[in-house]
Amino acid sequence: MLPFPRLLKYANTRTPNWYSDPRTIMAWDSAKFIADVPFQDYCANTISIDRAGVGPNPSLNASYPQSAYGPGVRLSGAGLMAANSQIPSSTWTSSFTVDMWYSQTSTSNIEFIPFGTYRAASANDNKYLLWFYSVDGQGMRYQNNGGNNIRPQANYPIFTSTWKHIAYVYNSAANMNYFFVNGVMTDSFPYIVSQPITAAYTGVGGHYNSPSTTTDSIVERFRIRTGAIWTSNFNTSTIYP
C-alpha cells in the first residue's frame, strides 16, 4: 500500500486549464459569461458590455450549432470589454496574441471586431482595431491612430457558420502582424503598432453598424496573451494544455 503522503501528493495535482498559461491577461468563455451584467473573466478582469442597448446585448448562443468547448456567446452589435485600468494601453506596443473560436449565425456579410482597444466615440487617433467589414470586399481593416491598413478579404476566410479557430499575432521584435485560421497563416505583413494612449476599453465585439441585421458573430474561448505565440503554422489540437 502506498504511504498517505504520496497519495496526498497526487490528490493535490490539478490539470492545467485552457487559460492557465501565465502569459494570459484576458480570457473568458460561455461558462464565465453572464448576460446583461458585468462578469469576471479567468484573469479577474471585469468584462462589461460596450454599447449596451444600442442593439441586442450579447447572449448565450441557444439557437445555432455549438463549438467543441461550449455554446459560444452571440455578440450581436455589442462588445465585451475590459477597462484599460485593468489592461493598460501600453500592452499593445509589445508582442501579443489574440485567439478564439469563431462562428456566425449565417454566411451573410458581417462586421466583426476580433480585437479592439479604443475610447468610446473616439477619433481615429485613439484606437487600435482589427475590423472586418466584408460587405465592401475590403477584408480586414487595421485602424491604428489615424492609419487605416486594408488587407485583402481573400486572406480572411472566416465568414461561414462553421466553427473555426482564428488568431491574430503582433510580433513587436520584427514589427510583423500575422493572422491564422485553423492554424494556417492566411495573412502576414509588416506594421508597427503605435500606442492608442487614450484608449479606455479592450476586448472583442460585433459592430452596431453591421450591414446585416440578421447575422451575428458567435465567439467561444476568447483569450489574449502577451508574447508572439505563433509566427508559423500550428496544430490547433495543441493550443491548450
Residue 164 · residue 102 · CB < 8 Å: yes
Angstrom CA distances, 101 to 32, 116, 125, 182, 219, stand at 15, 17, 30, 9, 6
Q: What is the pLDDT of residues 44-96, one digit of tens each?
A: 999 999 876 667 889 999 999 999 999 999 988 788 999 888 998 889 999 99
Q: How far apart are CA 56 and CA 34, in angstroms?
A: 14
Q: How confident is the model at residue 126 (pLDDT cuts 50, 70, 90)?
A: confident
- Given a cut of 70, is residue 118 above it in pLDDT? yes
| CATH numbers and ranges of domains, the chain | 21-229 (2.60.120.200)
Render pLDDT for 165-217 as a digit per residue (tens, 0 to 9).
999 999 999 999 999 999 999 999 999 998 887 777 899 987 655 555 667 88
- pLDDT score, position 62: 95
pTM comes to 0.89
For 110-124, what is the mean pLDDT?
Answer: 74
Q: Nine-digit cell at 22?
A: 501565465
Q: Which three cell numbers stand for residue 206?
A: 460585433
pLDDT at 169: 98
